[in-house]
Structure 1
Amino acid sequence: MKLESDLVFDRSPRKLAAAYLCLGSLFVVAADLAVGAAVGSLSTWTPARVVDGWALVGASSLVLYGATTYQRRRAVSARSELETSNQQLQVLSRVFRHNVRNDLNVIQGYTDLLADRVEDERSQECLETIRETTDDVVEISEKLRVIEDASPAPPSGRVDLADAVREAAAEVDRADVALTVDAPAEAWVRADESIEYPIREVFENAVTHNDESTRRVDARVTERGSTVCLAVSDNGPGIPDDERAVLRAEEETPLSHASSIGLWLVKWMCETQGGTVGFETNDDGTTVRLRFESVDDPAGTASTAEARQRASRGSGTARADTVADGSGERPVDNG
């Protein structure tokens, strides 16, 4: 399938310049004749004037030919580089997801085997560090799979955001977490079942990256105009300013980069669903807001249960940094 941009770049610069030369030459003659007719005398029309006009059109054609040739070469080169980069990323992703994952499974197996045979405390601590590190890398692999499998096409389905929030909250609801969820019975948004991935990531982040003795997580679903907003607040420390700057710039550098792929998962997955992500912070804790397009309650939609099954292997470590609600949003109408 050809894109519109492909058709533009496929046009020959020589043909464009020739067409411009022909049309421009005709325009010079027609314009001189029109001026002569307007003043009531054709004596102003002379071959020398026409030749001067044709010379100007010819010079312009050469400039057009040179500019379009240069832009065409740049476009072809950029497209070739993009295709090469995409191919390299696909290979690296496949190697990381399969080859590295298999090697990590071997490491995990030997770690468990050694744990049963090692008795001294220091060795046990080392094995636990190995186990935690391999688990983290496996988790990153799963998140890469989620991002790679996400469809770039705009969402065409509808999902009950309130139901997805309650399911994600239930997975982090435990004794050491003070969890509250303020959501209407239903809150339908334009999205597909993969919307549950960023929601799960935000809840997991609020719990995992919180060192308080009592970890507090407050979730609220509200509607403002044609937008449904999920605000998840916690009493954790938040993400550093430099990491938030990376998300705003959408580019990582050797001196400025995100410490977790979870941040990118939340951002990219929400944007794929046509939503937005907001990060803020204050002295009371952190909040992340996910906003999606509100839609009417449909007669039938895809259940988030499918998303829960697909997301059962993906856990969240995103660092979300935002301020407590106070946006004047009103609860969604249940009817």
Structure 2
Amino acid sequence: MKYIPDLLHGRSATALTAAYLCIAAASAVAVDLAVASTIGVAGGWTPTRLVGDWLLVAGSGGLLYGAVTHHRQRAETARRNLETSNQQIQVLSRVFRHNVRNDLNVIQGYTDLLADRIDDERSRECLETVRETTDDIVEISEKLRVIEDASPERPDGRVDLVAAVHEALDVVDADGAALTVETPSEAWIRADDTVEFPIREVFENAVTHNDGATRRVTATIRENGTTTCLEVIDNGPGIPPDEREVLQAEEETPLSHASSIGLWLVKWMCETQGGTVRFDATDDGTTVRLRFESASPPATPTR
């Protein structure tokens, strides 16, 4: 059975208006006859009585045609603009990920060669700065690849969030940081394997951007019936208010933008998993909550 929106979708403005005029004109005749029959003057009914009704139907049909045509034109313009934007993003991403990264690899190679030939400490510090900067840009290109390759469709698989957290912690360089993990034995969520990227990014931010004398990070998993939440608390400097506002507004401007692609990766990748993310920052640190749809554990195979 098709619903009305399905029947209307793709119809031309002319076809929709013609259908409306036919139905409205027939309805006007039926209503007038019903009224005349009710008050007992059906015998005196003549088509001239419908002139006013048909004029009203014709006028409203013209308004309908104009509204549908205007809407279709705006939708077509938006579609073309979206296609152009997607093409531009794909080209820029390809150039950044391949062309720029190849150039960065060349810079890194020459930096290593120069490091072996330079003796003074000041020059070595400058080369180390160049190396760190190129490493950061290469890391950004990897994050862009993760975002570009992510499927926009909601996953239909399930992942043990507890295992995903421990796998992320194994990858993150947490040397010197005090990590506390409080989790149940398992916590299954509706997600796929790419959920590891936002989880890893949250832990990397909590550890790497923490300049405290003693870096402390606490991770807690709580199940609440239909949802499961991963809460990560650190005692770092926190996310600046303007960056949190950018993420909430979902829009960047030249004067208001996030300083790293990592926060966007966390937001986008969580949302593609059907989850949500919340950032709270105080003078004592930052709290990040990743909330996902809970899933039942896989059935244990029987022997």
Indicate whether the TM-score tops 0.5: yes
TM-superposed deviation, 1:25:
1.3
Aligned partner of residue 118 in structure 1, secondary structure:
coil
TM-superposed deviation, 1:224:
1.5
Higher relative contact order, chain-length normalized (CA < 8 Å, sep 6+): 1
> What residue number does 1:226 align with?
226
> What residue number does 1:214 align with?
214
Distance 1:69 1:32, change over 3 A: same
> What residue number does 1:317 align with?
none
Q: What TM-score do the two structures reach when normalised by structure 2? A: 0.94
Give yes or no for contact 1:9–1:75 (8 Å, CA) kept in 2.
Answer: no
Aligned partner of residue 186 in structure 1, secondary structure:
coil
Give yes or no for contact 1:160–1:186 (8 Å, CA) kept in 2.
Answer: yes
> What residue number does 2:120 align with?
120
Q: Give structure 1 regions of 4+ aligned residues with deviation exceeding 4 angstroms.
A: 4-9
Q: 2-side partners of 1:196 and 1:133: how far apart?
A: 25
For residue 168 of structure 1, what is the amino acid of its counterpart?
A: A
Q: What TM-score do the two structures reach when normalised by structure 1? A: 0.85
1:163 aligns with 2:163: yes
Mapping 1:30-49, distance limit 5 Å: 30-42=30-42, 45-49=45-49
Distance 1:6 1:91, change over 3 A: farther
Give yes or no for contact 1:9–1:72 (8 Å, CA) kept in 2.
Answer: no
Per-residue CA distance 1:158-212 (angstroms, 9 max, x = gap): 1000011112123336441111111111111110000100000000000110111
> What residue number does 2:15 align with?
15
TM-superposed deviation, 1:128:
1.0
Give yes or no for contact 2:228–2:293 (8 Å, CA) kept in 1.
Answer: yes
Q: 1-side partners of 2:151 and 2:212: how far apart?
A: 37
Q: Quote the RMSD (CA, aligned, Å).
A: 1.9
Distance 1:164 1:116, change over 3 A: same
1:261 aligns with 2:243: no
> What residue number does 2:74 align with?
74
Structure 1, unaligned runs of 5 or more: 302-335
When the two structures are aligned, how many residues end up with a matched partner?
298
Distance 1:288 1:88, change over 3 A: same
Distance 1:300 1:88, change over 3 A: farther
For residue 70 of structure 2, what is the amino acid of its counterpart?
A: Y
Mapping 1:1-335, distance limit 5 Å: 10-42=10-42, 45-172=45-172, 174-299=174-299
Structure 2, unaligned runs of 5 or more: none
Give yes or no for contact 1:217–1:233 (8 Å, CA) kept in 2.
Answer: yes
Q: 2-side partners of 1:138 and 1:222: how far apart?
A: 35
Give yes or no for contact 2:158–2:192 (8 Å, CA) kept in 1.
Answer: yes
> What residue number does 1:314 align with?
none
Identity %: 69
Distance 1:300 1:96, change over 3 A: farther
Q: 2-side partners of 1:202 and 1:42: how far apart?
A: 77
